[in-house]
Structure formats: C-alpha cells, structure tokens
Amino acid sequence: MYTDYMTQQRNNRRNFLRMGFHGAALFAGGGLLRFQQAVAAGLDSSAFYSLSNLGPLLEPDANGLKLPKGFKSRVIARSGEAPAGLSGYTWHSAPDGGATFPADDGGWVYVSNSEMRNSAGGVGAIRFDAQGDVVDAYQILKNTSVNCAGGPTPWGTWLSCEETPSGQVYECDPMGGNQSELRSALGAFRHEAVAVDSENQCLYLTEDHPEGGFYRFRPDYPLPDLTRGQLEIALVLKKNGRSFIDWLAVPDPLAKVEETRLQVPAHTIFKGGEGIGLYDGRAYFTTKHDNRVWVYHTNTQEIEVLYDVETSDNPILTGVDNVVITATGDVLIAEDRGDMQIVVLSDEGSVAPLLQVMGQEQSEITGPAFDPSYQRLYFSSQRGSSGESSGGITYEVSRNDLV
C-alpha cells in the first residue's frame, strides 16, 4: 500500500511539473482535464491559467463566500449535523486542520481535526466518490484534546496534533480501517502542525506558543517508523548576513520535569508557530504573533522570512495560520480572523486573495486542502457566523464548469 501510494504521488508530481505553471493556476483553470483541453485547443496556457487573470473577488454568494468570477461553493458539512444527511457520524465542533487522501476507488477522503477541549476533540473524516459526492462520514480519532493542525504523511496517514501544554501527536488512518496510534517520540508541547521530509528522513514541527520553538524530529529507523528518535529545537545563527539553523537536542521530549523549549535556553523564539507545508526542499511555516511566513531550506539549513506584514508592499495577509501547498509549489495561507481570507503567496512575497468568508468575523479559516486532482479546495470556518465552536462550517470551492 505504501509503495503504491508513493508511486502515484511521484507520477502526479512529474505530470504537474511538465505543465510549467503553478498549481493554484491549475485550480483556477479547472484542474488537469481543463488544462489538457486548453492545450489541445491551442490556447496559450500561461495566460489562460494565470492567477493574475482571476480578477477581483465578487459579491458574496449564497454561502457568504466572495470568490473570483467562474467559481462556486457548496457546504459539505456543519457542526452537529450528519454530512449529506447520512446516518452515523455527526460532524464535529470546531473543525480545524485538514488534508485529503486518495481512495482506491478513485474517490478521496477529507480529514478534519476537532479543536475541542477536555478529551472532546479528535478527528473526523468525509469520504467522497470519484464524482465528488459525499458517501460516508466517520471518526478516526477520539478522546483527545484541542486537536489543532497536523499534517499528512507520504505513506497515507494523518498526523493530528494536540495544542495543549502536554499535547502529543497521533497517527491516524484516513480510511478508518486501523486504530490511531500515539507517537510519543514527537514530544509533549503545544503542537500545532507537522510536515514530513522524506528526502532527509525527518519531520518538522511548529509550536503554538508566544515564545515557542521550531522543531525537527529524526527517527531512529527509516520512515514511516515514528516510534523512536531524537527531537531537536532550532537555534538560528547568522553567517555572512544570512541565517542558518543549528539543531539542538531536546533532552526530555516528553517534558516530564521541564517544558521542551525551556530545556534548551539557547533556542530561537518563533512567535506562535502555526501551519507548515513542505515543497521541493523548502519548508514554509507561519508565526501568528508577528504575522510572518518563513522558508526553511532543508538541504542548506538556511532560513529566511518570505512575508512580513510590517515590511510587505501589500500587507493584506494578517492572522497567518494554516498552510497548504499545491503540487507545483503555490503557497496558500489561511487567516485566523484578519479578513477571513485564503491568500496565495508567491516565492517573491507578493500576495493575492483567493477567497473571503463574509459575516463570520469571530471565526477563523482552517483546514485548507485540495482534492487529489487539485480541482476542489476544502476548508472550514471554525466557528461559523455564531462565533461558537458548535457553529463550524466546512466548504468546497471549485470552478463553475467542473462536472
């Protein structure tokens, strides 16, 4: 199963790279099929699919979403209700981090954390058939607390992170066939998100704390084994005007006596680590207390600031939070409050809004994830218009011409 999944991902990656344009533009143009049709018709693909051609966001649609021309939305699930009227799992409150996973039948599964406290959190899942219709919903993790973000693995599992002082990471089966497993070697702290670096055989983890750290986990055995390993925390050093990370071992990852970041006083503070995503040797992650987006180059260990609200020429991105990266490297940042937008961030630091949720100013956008074909974007408004955790709404956005 792992080998088949990795082969599929490598093939998808090669196909996307041959296209020569960005994955968010793929979404804008209606996905792979639309691209192939455009090429067959002799259209200029670089212009036809350019993100700059999306134009301004229009007035809110029936679901309260401002979208570019040619896009539509639908509500997939609401907290306290069964998705698509199915019997069984009632969609959880406070939906947070999410990801999608391909299914054997051509469909896919969208998983979503629940950021509820007092062992009322966990992870829910919605299964879609090959046509994109909801066919099932179920729970894949329960009895955990404040499951905030997390990250998908290349071997097809979901790592769900608890954002509590003693929070841990659980590995979950999106298909629901296997029991979730605690991965205690990844440490006990206010976990936010995680990204897997298969090339360098390690994981990167963020910490949602005003004086938090940026972490790396090096397993003792080859991935996907996460049972044992060394947790490290980042120290940023300046060299010839550039910044590089020196990784320092955390003596007691389970923080039995002292919190992880306090065990290494020399560590560099990252002010409220949030989402993280990995693409082509670069780990992109956000820090909410200074509204920054960082890039860590995994092979050279250099780190730099890609976006800073204080220095940006177009500082529309605030409340930086969840991160999702397309198959060809477009970085999408979801806002926690701010303007309730999902914003596309280029490698040069320029920003452009992809969508905006209206009338839900007390909420936050969570769990952005594309379906495996990059034709549909899923995300949640964690508290909806009610401002309460029970008011969460999960959406799908796609092109009008998607069938």
- Got the DSSP string for 195-229? EEETTTTEEEEEE-STTB-EEEEEESSSTT--SSE
Cα distance between residue 343 and residue 351, in whole Å: 6
Angstrom CA distances, 279 to 199, 203, 228, 327, 329, stand at: 11, 13, 25, 8, 6
Q: If you classify domain 2-399 with CATH, what class do you get?
A: mainly beta
Interatomic CA distance for residues 2 and 249, integer angstroms: 30
Under 8 Å between Cβ of 140 and 111: yes
The pLDDT, as a whole number, for residue 349 is 85
The percent of residues in the chain predicted with pLDDT above 70, rounded, is 86
Which of 211, 216, 207, 215 lies closest to 189 in space, CA to CA?
A: 207
Tokens 């947790």 sit on residue? 231
Q: What is the pLDDT of residue 54?
A: 66
Q: Write down the pLDDT at residue 337.
A: 92
What was the pLDDT predicted at 240? 95
Q: What is the pLDDT of residue 329?
A: 80
Residues of the chain below pLDDT 50: 1-22, 31-52
Mean pLDDT, the chain, rounded, equals 88
The pLDDT value given to residue 400: 87
CB atoms within 10 A of CB 59: 7
- How many helices (H) and strands (E) are present in the chain, helices listed first? 4, 26
Q: Using alpha carbons, select from 140, 220, 131, 124 the residue that is nearest to residue 173.
A: 140
CA 232, 235, 237, 242 torsion-angle sign: positive
Residue 186 contacts residue 160 (beta carbons within 8 Å): no
> Rounded distance, CA 50 to CA 35, Å?
12
pLDDT tens-digit series, residues 48-82: 233 445 678 999 999 999 999 989 999 999 999 99
